[in-house]
Amino acid sequence: MSETRVAPSPAVINFSMQDRLRTEAAQEPLPAASGPVTKTTQIIAIYGKGGIGKSFSLANLSYMLAQQGKKVLLIGCDPKSDTTALLFGGRSCPTIIETSSKKKLAGEAVAIGDVCFKRDGVFAMELGGPEVGRGCGGRGIIHGFELLEKLGFHDWGFDYVLLDFLGDVVCGGFGLPIARDMCQKVIVVGSNDLQSLYVANNVCSAVEYFRKLGGNVGVAGILINKDDGTGEAQAFAAKAGIPVLAAIPANEDIRRKSANYEIIGRPGTAWASIFESLATNVAEAPPVRPNPLTQDELLGLFSGDAVGRHVVLEPATFADMMGRDEVTKPSLEVVYDAV
């Protein structure tokens, strides 16, 4: 006699699925890796406020790594396309997005030599982005990485791939390396000012958010640029639980040479020791889970005079907005007496 099987009802299936999802969601994410990075290529995303000196720092860091015998690829992910300018002595290189558009119109495929260029052992390229008002910069980044994957990005044999990202743009494309585990670790660039540390803290918050969703990216530390010795960036690093990888001083010689598109991260030069130490720390620093600060904790790093904490918020009134006192108009609402 054959056995009759009864299919479970949709309600039972849905309950079972919800139960599994709840169980999975309740699990704590794995701790951040604390040992040495074992993957052959270290892919590192560098974030910071616009103008904080990411491109300057990365050009000199990548140059120093190359002089130490490492094979380095520097990818600019800023729509301004200025990451590689210092590396190439002020010259701009064709961007991936611009080249892709031109090649598509001509019915040709993009080749590595169209978008990737090298100097003294450093390989570099720019993703680029749309002009103002003509598209989404984040979408441009996504399109750029899609093209890089077609060109064999995951099979390239580099020791380091450094990605230069704006940290003060919050649309999805700029968070791509963190959200999709495209890198092993993140480095934030900041200075002793509130805005740059606000951006650095936001990046730490993004890393922690995606860690809770099962991501694996951690923060390797902070690079302090234009350090004037006041200590706010060091205090931020201590509270956030991330190391200081290096501190580049606010120095007129550095500023002048940077403005003249001169590499200062050369072995044997006056500033070489900073970038030699930075190169070592970038290579060895493990990705850790940061402890993002609250807004009040961030403000607490600065004196009240610097951030205006003595200011009292005064609510606006109708008279402020209209330039006259509020006139009470009779209501047409019908009000019934209680029974």
Catalytic positions are: 49, 54, 80, 168
Contacts of 167 (CB under 8 A, 6+ apart): 47, 48, 49, 174, 188, 199, 200, 202, 203
Tokens, residue 70 = 């490492």
CA distance 168 to 189: 12
Return the SS3 of 227.
Answer: strand
Strand partners, 120: none
CA distance 273 to 223: 15
Return the SS3 of 268.
Answer: coil
Three-state SS sequence of 15-35: HHHHHHHHHHHHCCCCCCCCC
Q: Is 136 exposed, middle or buried (0-12, 13-18, 19+ CB in 10 A)?
A: middle
Contact 247, 192 (CB under 8 A): no
Strands 122-126 and 117-119: antiparallel
CB atoms under 10 Å from CB of 31, counted, come to 10
Three-state SS sequence of 278-313: HHHHHHHCCCECCCCCCHHHHHCCCCHHHHCCCCCC
